[in-house]
Amino acid sequence: MAHPKRKVSTTRRDKRRTHKKIETKPLYVDSVSGEATVYHRVNLESGYYRGRQVMEGREE
């Protein structure tokens, strides 16, 4: 197995890890139901996608 010749500094290590973070997904408010929904996803409660009914919503 390969071993590093020198210790990797914390700055260099942290620079490499800058992209490994949790990002919050952008939300939008549905114009029909008024609920916050993730982009490019069907609202399962109402069945609407981009203001158009594409499937039946859940019945509770």
Per-residue pLDDT reduced to its tens digit, 20-57: 888 888 888 877 778 888 888 888 888 888 878 888 87
Q: Where are the beta strands (DSSP E) in the chain?
A: 27-29, 36-38, 48-49, 52-53
Q: 29 is in which domain, residue-wise?
A: 25-60
Would you state the pLDDT for residue 10?
94
Q: Is residue 50 part of a domain?
A: yes
Domain count, the chain: 1
Q: Is residue 58 part of a domain?
A: yes
- Helix segments in the chain, DSSP class H: 10-16
Q: Is residue 20 part of a domain?
A: no
Distance CA 32, CA 34 (A): 6
Q: Is residue 1 part of a domain?
A: no
- Tell me the two tokens of residue 46: 């109402």
What is the value of pTM for the model shown?
Answer: 0.47
